[in-house]
Chains A and B, each alone.
Chain A
């Protein structure tokens, strides 16, 4: 049997065992689902989404945040780095809508600019982890020996708590946008590899793949024409969840002081700087915290929406 419980998706083959579920899966294997339960699965991610408005609201929030990041210089009322010592820790006013921080910098402007770091990292991690994970998963699904080795490596990576792993990478490589993307990507890769692998394992049993093999299609052709298209829908969903989790991890790293320097504002490092003055001015933490939470929530809900729209079957593969 396989090495850690993270492996449960494979060990679903255990006779009589409840088919396993991935770490954060709330979905239930569709194979074992009664019609009534299947209907419910459709809503397994909960009430927020059940209101029809949730996808629209979350899409709106995400688009608004993207626009905010792109047009930060136009939207920000102040220079996010300009320190005005006379205006330290001021409350909200017409001049500073959300007040100022301990250096007299405008919090609203810092939050607006902070969207750049968070969204770049969220998107960057999602893309890089798919770029690395997709080929590894495809090969793993096709070559038994490689699969055995690769899966042990993935088990090992998954055994390291993601924040610690990211912290260690940042500690040796220094904190820059790229090193953060790499650091946060490494723990996400196993999730992609496993997902792609499971898609390949089930798809290669299909008749059309068998037909392609008997017709003498080359492996690259089979992968490209028949297997990769199967992975696209689940990867879009998984990519969205990875984006949300990467934004959270970046904020945690920044909060711990292992993130990007405060000369580039990020929601995490605004909160980190606000910690010292929390008792004096809690809004230093609440405002960036609120925007951060709203962003992660919106991206997560978008992932749920995408999952339902793209392929109801994919729940069995353990999306989120």
Chain B
């Protein structure tokens, strides 16, 4: 119980010092693209090219109507990129901040929130592609789209506990980042991102969709922007994961918080 208190205390203290992680995360993005003329929009460009290519190839393979497929693909790839880099960089949240952690006493979750924030900044750069795609295909956007904001908050809550947990585990067990990296490459193909769920035979739906937490996390943000309300299951599973995940993550973090500086 004492560990829980300390862990929750650290989270609250981190939010107290939100200026610090906002600044550091912003700094990371600026640093990567300093003196580059196009700057972080290089990400947007490469994402745009990726979407166009995959759209062309897979749109034809699956013979999906391009006006449906491309918005679906765009949202899927952008959000997946966000989830993937948040979690793989989350693995290294403490490891890459080792010199800071060993010199300055700062609430440790700050290093995780820095990673999440940095990826939110990059996500917003990628979102620039979205209006182009919508205008291109004259896709109407409905009020339902606002639901995706709720979905996004829920996604952030889920990603945060995952990144915190992975950060702690990776600091102690240095194989975790590699493991996560290869695991996620598989999850990418298992999750409907470059293929549309309605192409699945009914039998496969239960395995690939119902039991895939990343499908639900993606769905609650993507579906409203495509004009339909996500299934209630997706909301329930995402919420359940957020609660259970945080409880678990805080327990592990609370147990390890004093050890992290020693493991670095």
Do these two chains interact?
A: no
